[in-house]
Amino acid sequence: MKLSTLLTSVVAFALIVAPIAASAGKTLDTVKKRGHLRCQVSTPSGGFYNLDADGNWYGLDIAVCEAVAAAVFGDKNKKEIQVVSTQQRYTALANGGSDLLCSTATWTMSRDTQLGVDFLTPNFYDGQGFTVLKSSGITSALQLKGAKVCVTTGTSSELNLADFSRKNNLNISAVAFEDWNVRDATYLKGGCDAVTVDKSSLAANIISFPNPADHMVLPETISKEPLGPAVRQGDSQWADLVKWTVFAMINAEELGVTSANVDDMRANSKDVNVRRMLGVEGNLHEGLGLSKDWAYNIIKQVGNYGENYEKYIGSGKGALGIQRKGTLNELWTKGGMMYSPPMR
Amino acid sequence: MATWFGTTNLRCKKSEYQGENVVAVSDNNKEYVHIKPKEQFDFFHDKRVRSAFYQFLIAAAVAWFAWSLIGNTAQNLESRGMHTGFGFLKVAAGFDSSFKLISHEPGVGTYGRIFIIGALNTLYISALAIILSTMLGFFIGVLRLSSNWLVSKVALAYVEIFRNTPILIQIIFWYIGVFSLLPRVKNSIDLSFGTGNLLLNNRGFYIPWPIPGDLLWLSGVAIIIAVIAVVILRRWAQNRQDKTGQIFPTFIVSAALLIFLPGIVYFMTGMPLDWDIPKLEGFNFVGGASLPPSFMALLFALTIYHASYTAEMVRAGILSVDKGQDEAARSIGLRKKWAMSLVVIPQAMPAIIPPMISNWMSTIKNSSLAIAIGYPDMVSLFMQTSLNQAGYAVELVGMTMAFYMFVSLTISWLLNIYNKRVQLVER
Amino acid sequence: MTIIKASPTPALPAPLSETSVIGWMQKNLFSSVFNGLLTIAALYIVYMVVKGMWVWGIADAVWVADSRRECFSINPDGACWAGIFAWVDNIFYGRYPREELWRVNLGILSLFIWMIPLWLPRVKAKISIGLTTVFLYPFLAGYLFSGGDKGIFMQIMLTAAIVCLAGNTIHATIGVFTGRSLPEFLSSLFGKKNVHEKTQRNIFLGIIALSFVSIYVWQMSWSLGGVSWTKWGGLFLTFVVSGIGIASALPLGIILALGRRSKLQVARVLCTSFIELFRSVPLITVLFMATTMFPLFMPEGFVLNRLVQVIIAVCLFNACYMAETVRGGLQTIPRGQFEGAHTVGLGYWQTMGLVIMPQALKHMIPNIVGNFISLLKDTTLVSIIGLFDVLNMLRAIGKDRTWLGLHIEPLVFGALLFFLLCFVMSKYSRHLEEKLSTNQNN
């Protein structure tokens, strides 16, 4: 092959490939250049990431995505939601396919250290439970000896089920599915005796069953499930940004700032913490690489943590109906675990 | 011009033809002529140099490419905090497989064991699918060649329909459209005419499993002895027929040997075989063995899809045998059945075997589509689930691909040996 | 005593069993008791299958409904085709914005216009037209489908593609009507008939350059809105993946096959191991390798989107199967051709390009079409990776709130769709095979 041919082909290849690939650089720069945030969820699931009739996404995890978009762009709608199956979500995140994973992913040590992703801070503390038919007569998870339990593959639920079965000598056989819709459909047809997943998802799914009154959630909680957003490992600036977005929402509730009174608070509040958070004083925004209105935009457009909880999970219209009182999702001042480090 | 010293009657000629030097040497009154071309070593046009140079270029380019890939991989893995190495194979896997041929305890069994489970699952369903699809394919292929117009057209419709539809759609259809519609556990379909031994429901297909007694191994030994005896008997009968023309009732005698010898041993040792029959206890059937619906859906889909390809190969192979062979066989009085099995099919086998090899390897590769319906074969169990729970992308993908390479190359090597033995020596 | 007749006995008409339908039936269907039983069994099977499909698919089916519940209330036993009709746009175009669908249609139409000259009889230079299809059409289609800002390179290639398309069409029309080629026609426009080939070529190149510049200026004035690749889906995505797969698999496959037959040891070893590697692993593992390992191979910051990863994997995989096809084609060329070319003094690449490949390609075309058919069927595997091709769209119907649980009808529809496509193409490939084999008279 002549040298000229070789050179031409190399140049041609480079020119063809270059437009396809994104440019190098840190995640924040990439996101700003792209003009919108790319968030990754799984198949729509009630309360956390769901689709309404017009094709718009809503839910507690979507609220986190919108908050980050509001922080970076000042507009919560500058986001693109990608649906990736639970089996492939970590690979897709680690390889840069999306900027943020917000799909009720449980923060575990092996995921944090081995899969090339970083978990930030939980935005919902949950536990795993079982759904059974009331007519089966089972009243406790310890009665599931030899049962077949449906579970979604690639989740911590699969591992916790195996641990629970081993610990109590229950000989449970797991039937794994990629899509939770197929999992629930199999359970409804009698293909397995119980379904196991985080209790919040159990509650959401029962609502969508044909006869919700026929099913019940067993009382046992067999694991800890801190659910939270995750980002790709290796970009600390981006990780800080997402982490402090979540903390800003929690902090806002602690300080009593809501989407309704944030304008008033920004103009008139004398509380130094409020003023620092909303950018009136201090320069906290510089460390994140954002504008000084970043927290103000979050609270104004998305709301604080409590508002979002009630809207999607709590007692709002169309929410899941899981009471916040007495659970771990309360603020630390009320006995729960929602605690934001000081924003100063 | 070269010269040669030391002998008498030296003669030296220079030929004008292409500058070759002709050196004539005379030795003891014998003259003979050496024609020695002029050795001109033109470096840039020498074939060996050019070939070496291009090979060096290619090798250098590939090596540079590979080195940059490996470098990038190492750098990316480090920046993401992902680890490498095969040590994870000794780490306990926290999850279980819903179908396994060997025992595995989640939390105790390692990822290495998961690899073996996945390999066994793949080989198990591939072997079953290959056997069933070959049998079905031969049957349909012969039907295609039937003189009955309707039957051959029905077979043609079968082949065309199942060949032109993607295998993945067929697999999903069998799973969602057939095996999910089976009834619940309490209303299981009983395939054993009411005795409750073969049960089909939407959790699986339940069959009784033998529990070997103490002396069952004697019956096993008896079976092996009977098989060896049958082989020797057939050789002896064939030799006798070749020499004397007397036909020995080989089939009946071998059948009798195979049934009665182990049977007598079995009865004499007290019938040491018990059956573990599946019984409904609590939620599920306990005892016996079961095959999950995903297994059956995959098996049906693979069998039917590959049988359609096999049928075409069989038909092409049989048609490739000269029609004269069939006519000659019929004209010496062989009935159609014997003509087919003694004359035509043995000659068709060399034409059928090579495409069959690739069809069988294709079956093994298509069994990896189990991932779409949740049957835990190698790809689904090892490459996807383990990848999600443990990381180690490069090692997992590499091991899975190495497994398939090993299986494919082994099968094609074995079948190539058989192929060479079966190939006709052309006249 | 012999009886001799002076005139030949008139031939009797053929017996009833040879001519009439009943005779045919008796010979083919009922020639023996066993055959008769077989026929009856086959008739029964056919009747049950056809009746079942007719009742489920047409007689009891619901064609118009708003949701699955409505389908059930109208007729629970039949197929609910209404769901398919509601999703037809998604199945064929994916989630492409509806107001931009004209771009997809325009892209497909331009492919047809580009490739039609290959079938018209009097058009010359078919190979060049084919080459331009492979090298220039992707740029036109790529820009039409994805839009967005045009870089310099894209602008140049887009202009070249448009010029080429216009040139091809004019050349084809001229060829069909007058039997001449475009350069000849252009020269005749300038009054220079039957001149030296070089002059023709110069005039042709001049006009091409002129049109290139004018179209370049024209296309700088407009640009199409960007449509992200995440919105591509359905049958459109299937064809994009398989089209790029087959178009790039052919040159790659030729190189690999030549490498495998090469006398250079290094090239032979490398190509053989590459081909054997990809032929012995399933496509799904290659796709997984693409999505998990390709991003690791890229230098820091270089991100390939999932569609490009899948396309690269499909190209590599198919190139190996194509290499085997090419190798088979090369094996049919007698040694005399190689030796003859060597005698005349042609080098390796000249031999291959001018003598061997044109002959081998003719033998390979039916197999190449066969490769394309199986690639089309294999593209359904990308649904496992998460790309929204036809199969994924069909399965998504059953997960949509309105049509929850509609699983079987979309699969049947998909099977019918693929069956139609593959059946037509395999019939065409058989027709090609016959046409080509009758052309060789040895």
ipTM of the complex: 0.86
pLDDT digits (tens, 9 = 90+) for B264-312: 888 887 777 777 887 777 777 777 788 888 899 999 999 999 999 999 9
Domain positions in chain B:
3-35, 49-82, 113-183+294-422
Report pLDDT for C37. Answer: 87
Q: Kindly determine whether residue A158 and residue B95, on different chains, have CB atoms separated by under 8 Å.
A: yes
Q: Find out whether C190 and C242 touch, Cβ atoms under 8 Å.
A: no
Mean pLDDT, chain B, integer: 82
Res A12 pLDDT > 60: no
Residue of higher predicted confidence among B34 and C300: C300
Q: Is B374 on the interface with A (CB under 8 A)?
A: yes
The CA distance from A207 to the nearest CA of chain B, in Å, is: 23
The alpha carbon of residue B318 is apart from the nearest alpha carbon of chain C, in Å, by 20
What average pLDDT does range C236-261 have in this prediction? 90
**φ, ψ dihedrals at C242, nearest 5°:** -75, -35
Which of A88, A90, A208 is best to mutate for the C interface (most C CBs within 10 A)? A88
**Using one digit for the tens of pLDDT, what is the confidence trace for C74-90?**
888 888 888 888 888 88
Q: pLDDT value at position B102?
A: 82
Inter-chain residue contact B169 with C419, CB threshold 8 Å: no
Give the per-residue pLDDT at C98. Answer: 86
The pairing of strands B199-201 and B204-207 is antiparallel
Computed over every residue of chain A, the mean pLDDT equals 85
pLDDT grade, residue C281 (50/70/90)? very high
Q: Are B172 and B370 in contact (CB under 8 A)?
A: no
Token readout for A164 is 């629970």
Q: What is the pLDDT of residue C252?
A: 92
Residue B9 has a pLDDT of: 44
pLDDT score for B211 = 80
- Mean pLDDT to the nearest integer, B157-171: 93
pLDDT band at B159 (very low <50, low <70, confident <90, very high): very high
For residues C212-227, give the mean pLDDT.
85
For residue C238, give the 3-state DSSP assignment: helix
Does position A10 have pLDDT exceeding 50, yes or no? no
Integer Cα distance of B225 and B220 in angstroms: 9
More confident residue, A260 or B92: A260
Residue C302, CA distances (Å) to A26, B34, C271, C368 in order: 11, 67, 28, 34
pLDDT of residue A11: 46
Which pLDDT value is given to residue B34? 64
* Helix-helix angle B216-244:B250-268, to 10 degrees: 160
Tens of pLDDT along C40-60?
Answer: 888 999 999 999 999 988 888
Q: Which fold has domain B113-183+294-422?
A: MetI-like fold (1.10.3720)
Q: CB-based contact (8 Å) between A177 and chain B?
A: yes
pLDDT in tens, B29-47: 666 666 666 666 677 777 7
Q: Which residue of C has its CA nearest to A26?
A: C301
Mutate to test the interface with A, among C143, C302, C311 (most CBs of A within 10 A): C302
- Is B397 within 8 Å of chain C by CB? yes
> pLDDT: is C163 or C438 the higher one?
C163
Give the neighbours of chain C: at least 3 Cβ pairs within 8 Å. Answer: A, B
In order, the DSSP letters of A19-44 are HHSPPPS-HHHHHHHHSSEEEEE-S-
Q: Are C412 and C79 in contact (CB under 8 A)?
A: yes
Query: Are A277 and A295 a contacting pair, CB within 8 Å?
Result: yes
Domains in chain C: ranges and CATH: 88-96+232-399 (1.10.3720.10), 97-226 (no CATH)
Task: Give the number of other CB atoms < 10 A from CB of residue C49.
Answer: 12
C428 shares contact with chain B (CB less than 8 Å): no
Q: Is the minimum CB–CB distance between A181 and chain C shorter than 8 Å?
A: yes
When the pLDDT of each residue in chain C is averaged and rounded to a whole number, the result is 85
Is the predicted pLDDT of residue C123 greater than 50, yes or no? Answer: yes
Task: Determine whether C220 is exposed, middle or buried from the number of CB atoms within 10 Å of its CB (0-12, 13-18, 19+).
Answer: exposed
Q: CA nearest B340: which of B167, B73, B142?
A: B142
- pLDDT band of residue B149 (cuts 50, 70, 90) is confident
Does B389 contact chain A (CB < 8 Å)?
yes
Q: How far apart are CA C342 and CA B408, in angstroms?
A: 39
Put simply, the answer to whether B389 touches A166 (Cβ < 8 Å) is: no
Distance from CA of C185 to the nearest CA of B (A): 45
pLDDT tens-digit map of A163-222: 898 889 888 888 888 888 888 888 888 888 899 999 988 888 888 788 888 899 998 899
What is the per-residue DSSP string for B273-336? EEEE--EEETTEEESSEEE-HHHHHHHHHHHHHHHHHHHHHHHHHHHHS-HHHHHHHHHTT--H
Chain B contact set for A133 (CB, 8 A): none
What are the chain C neighbours of A15 within 8 Å (beta carbons)?
Answer: 153
Distance between CA atoms of residues A72 and A63, nearest Å: 14
Q: Is C5 left (phi over 0), alpha (psi -120 to 50) or beta?
A: beta
Considering only the beta carbons, identify the residue of A114, A148, A154 that sits closest to B203: A148
Span B45-53, average pLDDT: 82
List of chain B residues whose C-beta atoms are within 8 Å of the C-beta of residue A159: 94-95, 106, 389
* Residue pLDDT, tens place only, B178-206: 877 888 877 778 777 777 778 888 888 88
Confidence (pTM): 0.83
Query: So what's the pLDDT on residue A25?
Result: 44
Among chain C residues, the shortest Cα distance to B366 is held by: C282
User: In C, what residues contact A, Cβ < 8 A?
Assistant: 151, 153-154, 228, 230, 291-292, 295-296, 298-306, 308, 385-386, 399, 401, 404-405
pLDDT higher than 50, residue B228: yes
B402 to chain C: nearest residue by CA? C281
SS3 at position B71: helix
pLDDT value for A190: 84
CB within 8 Å of B284: residues ≥ 6 apart: A146, A147, A148, A173, A193, B185, B203
pLDDT of residue A62: 94
The residue with greater pLDDT, C148 or C310, is C310
| C-alpha count within 13 angstroms, C-beta hemisphere, residue C361 | 13
B320 and chain C in contact, CB less than 8 A: no
Question: What tens digit of pLDDT does each residue of A269-305 get?
Answer: 888 899 999 988 888 888 888 988 899 999 999 999 9
Highest-confidence segment of B16-30, B164-178, C179-193, C213-227: B164-178
Q: Which chains, if any, share at least 3 CB pairs under 8 A with chain B?
A: A, C
Q: What is the pLDDT of residue B187?
A: 79
Higher pLDDT, A289 or C185: A289
At C365 the pLDDT is: 83
- Pick from B399, B375, B304, B384: nearest CA to C284: B384
Residue B20 has pLDDT above 60, yes or no: no
